[in-house]
Amino acid sequence: MYRIACLRIPQLLTAGKSKTNAKQIPKDFISRLITCSPKVTVIQPGLFLLDASGLKHFGGEPKFCHNLLRTMSQAGLTDSHLGLADSAFAAIVASRVHKKRFHIVAPQKDAEFLAPLSIKHLELSLDMQEALSVLGVKTMGQLTKISSHLLVERFGPEALRAYDLAKGYDKRKPQLPKVIPQFSCTLELASPITNVPEYLFILKSMLDKLVDDLNCANLAAEELSLSLYSNNDKFDERKIELISPSNKVKFLLEVSKLSLEAKPAERECTGLTLRISRTTRQEWKQMRLNKNAGTRFPNQMLVSEEGGETPPLRHVMQRFLTRLGKNVLVQAKANDQYSLTEAAFWVPIYEATPHLVQPNNTYIEETIGLDQLTTQLACKKLDPAVSVLIEFANSQPRSLLYNQKWYQVKQITVPDCLSSKWWDEPIRKSYHMALIQLVQKTTYSQASAELVLLVCDHASDSWFIEGIFD
């Protein structure tokens, strides 16, 4: 017969509210629980389910309760309570209702134990509690006397779950804790190192060990963490994000080299810690039998020296991002908003795309055609917008002073007048797309032209350049 124990520790229930109680919690707390029972599951902070089956040859259930509470007392958690029953819910309630440090519900007596207790233990919604109170249902025994079909018809699935718990039916059971593998390697050096080749010589051996451990676990690295020490003083810690998972020593070593070259260590190093801080399941792919696989044709996959297919573009992008940072490579994403400056955003390619409202491109194509749109160009928003001085001719902008230089307005569109966002910050603007050209002092030089977003802010009666089309 399966038996479940529930350990309730008030000190842990309030640890989040009190820093003093949090400091009193021992670091090896879960390890101590596992010594008492191999299966431990955390329901909520301060509430643990433990497997209490098969205790006949270990002194019985009372001895198990005494041993567990003694272990908690040795850890400084003296205000601990224990309930033991056939179901998880009955064990939880048993740990609450009695003043004794532990209470054991006899086998196959969960429903009998729960019957005289209040329905408040079921944690029902307030509306359902009021409805049951009107019907005169105050205890779990009174609830189980009502037909389950009538309860579901009247109150829905919540009532069926409450009915099952009151009868002693609960599918929750303690599980074996999941062991999270740690892939870390630390090395103390006999003499300090300062240059990149010395770092790579040491990192190569560390990566060999870590990659072997990854392959044994069928995992691939997604992020590396490198910590540098000088006489036990950590002076540098860097995270190296990979654009795609890898378990190749050569590739990981090259990425580490690029990181060290892009940001050299400021002090001499006497110790290193290399850790694979994030992993993912290894993907297995069938290699294509192509005799031209090693040639550099467009869209051709290359066979790496270490075996397996690897896209050559991945290595190029990884080098680029490791040297310059992950936010330097961006792409334009459309966003359906009133303001033209919010019609698109620059989003890093290898980051999650924010929630954007996509415009209806089908409607645009059917109405005015894609060839009529300037949206084929991306508008690079200037933040903040640059104020300009406008010179008019026949009520139209003829030239403008931009960054202390005069530009001639070669062409300009009919303005799009927008008035919106009264609920946030009112906008009353006129948007022009203007082709401007730098005014040169000599007639022999030819200046390049730029397409800009020229905006008139009617609220402040001023002109700005809010974006440049590229």
Structure tokens, 420: 């919106």
Banded model confidence at residue 164, pLDDT cuts 50, 70, 90:
very high
Banded model confidence at residue 354, pLDDT cuts 50, 70, 90:
very low
Is residue 287 helix, strand or coil? coil
The total domain count for the chain is 3
The candidate with the shortest Cα–Cα distance to 285, out of 308, 312, 313, 304, is 308
CA distance from start to end of the chain = 72
Is the pLDDT at 459 greater than 70, yes or no? yes
Q: Which residue has the higher pLDDT, 39 or 349?
A: 39
pLDDT at 79: 84
Is the pLDDT at 296 greater than 50, yes or no? no
How many other CB atoms are found less than 10 A from the CB of residue 331? 12
Beta-bridge partner residues of 345: 333
Q: Read out DSSP for 306-362?
A: TSSEE-HHHHHHHHHHHHH-TTSSEEEEE---SSGGGSEEEEETTSPPP------HH
Q: Which residue has the higher pLDDT, 83 or 24?
A: 83
Is the pLDDT at 36 greater than 90, yes or no? no
Q: Which residue has the higher pLDDT, 308 or 188?
A: 188
Residues 190 and 169 in one domain: no
pLDDT at 338: 56
Banded model confidence at residue 19, pLDDT cuts 50, 70, 90:
very low
Residues 11 and 142 in one domain: yes
Residues 170 and 48 in one domain: yes
CATH of the domain at 244: 3.30.1490.100
Q: How far is the C-alpha of 459 from the C-alpha of 456, rounded, in Å?
A: 9
Percent of the chain having pLDDT more than 90?
A: 26
CB contact at 8 A, 22 and 16: yes
pLDDT at 446: 57
pLDDT, mean of residues 5-25: 64
Structure tokens, 123: 């944690």
CATH of the domain at 105: 3.30.70.270
Is the pLDDT at 114 greater than 60, yes or no? yes
pLDDT at 364: 42
pLDDT, mean of residues 238-249: 86
Query: Residue 46: which domain range?
Result: 1-179
pLDDT, mean of residues 189-205: 91
Is the pLDDT at 35 greater than 90, yes or no? no
CB contact at 8 A, 7 and 36: no
pLDDT, mean of residues 77-101: 88
Say if 101 falls within a structural domain: yes
pLDDT at 340: 60
CB contact at 8 A, 269 and 192: yes
CB contact at 8 A, 309 and 234: no
Say if 48 falls within a structural domain: yes
Cis before 45? omega within 30: no
Residues 192 and 111 in one domain: no
Is the pLDDT at 351 greater than 80, yes or no? no
Is the pLDDT at 159 greater than 50, yes or no? yes
The candidate with the shortest Cα–Cα distance to 433, out of 350, 371, 364, 374, is 374
pLDDT at 110: 92
Percent of the chain having pLDDT more than 70?
A: 76
How many other CB atoms are found less than 10 A from the CB of residue 79? 11
Is the pLDDT at 153 greater than 90, yes or no? no
Q: How far is the C-alpha of 242 from the C-alpha of 71, rounded, in Å?
A: 44
CB contact at 8 A, 269 and 229: yes
The continuous run of DSSP H or E covering 18 comes out as none
Q: How far is the C-alpha of 407 from the C-alpha of 340, rounded, in Å?
A: 23
Return the minimum-mean-pLDDT range out of 40-49, 111-120, 206-215: 40-49
Residues 366 and 402 in one domain: yes
159, 254, 297 from 196: Cα distances, Å: 66, 11, 34
Return the minimum-mean-pLDDT range out of 111-120, 370-379, 451-460: 370-379
Category of 401 on φ-ψ map: left (φ > 0), alpha (ψ -120 to 50) or beta: beta
Return the minimum-mean-pLDDT range out of 85-94, 329-338, 393-402: 329-338
**What residue type is 297 in one-letter code?**
F
Residues 430 and 448 in one domain: yes
Q: Which residue has the higher pLDDT, 414 or 421?
A: 414
The candidate with the shortest Cα–Cα distance to 155, out of 129, 177, 181, is 129
pLDDT at 218: 86
Return the minimum-mean-pLDDT range out of 19-28, 295-304, 340-349, 410-419: 295-304
The candidate with the shortest Cα–Cα distance to 140, out of 123, 122, 126, is 122
Say if 92 falls within a structural domain: yes
Say if 35 falls within a structural domain: yes
Banded model confidence at residue 10, pLDDT cuts 50, 70, 90:
confident
Most confident option among 154-168, 279-293, 320-334: 154-168
Residues 194 and 159 in one domain: no
Q: Using the 3D structure, point to which of 130, 147, 179 is the last residue of a domain.
A: 179
Render the burial of 420-439: b for 16+ CB within 10 Å, e for the rest: eeeeeeebebbbbbbbbbee
Q: Which residue has the higher pLDDT, 341 or 61?
A: 61
**What residue type is 249 in one-letter code?**
V
pLDDT at 94: 92
Say if 309 falls within a structural domain: no
Residues 196 and 274 in one domain: yes
Residues 86 and 166 in one domain: yes
pLDDT tens string 401-417: 998 889 999 888 888 88
Q: Which residue has the tokens 């202390």?
A: 404
Residues 277 and 243 in one domain: yes
Average pLDDT of the chain is 79
Is the pLDDT at 234 greater than 70, yes or no? yes
Is the pLDDT at 365 greater than 70, yes or no? no
Structure tokens, 327: 């936010």
Say if 308 falls within a structural domain: no
Say if 280 falls within a structural domain: yes
Is the pLDDT at 391 greater than 60, yes or no? yes
The candidate with the shortest Cα–Cα distance to 12, out of 1, 3, 20, 21, is 21
Say if 307 falls within a structural domain: no
Q: Using the 3D structure, point to which of 290, 321, 352 is the last residue of a domain.
A: 321
pLDDT, mean of residues 223-251: 89
Residues 98 and 147 in one domain: yes
Residues 349 and 416 in one domain: yes
pLDDT at 344: 65
Structure tokens, 261: 């070259």
pLDDT at 310: 47
Structure tokens, 370: 């894609």
Q: Using the 3D structure, point to which of 179, 197, 222 is the last residue of a domain.
A: 179
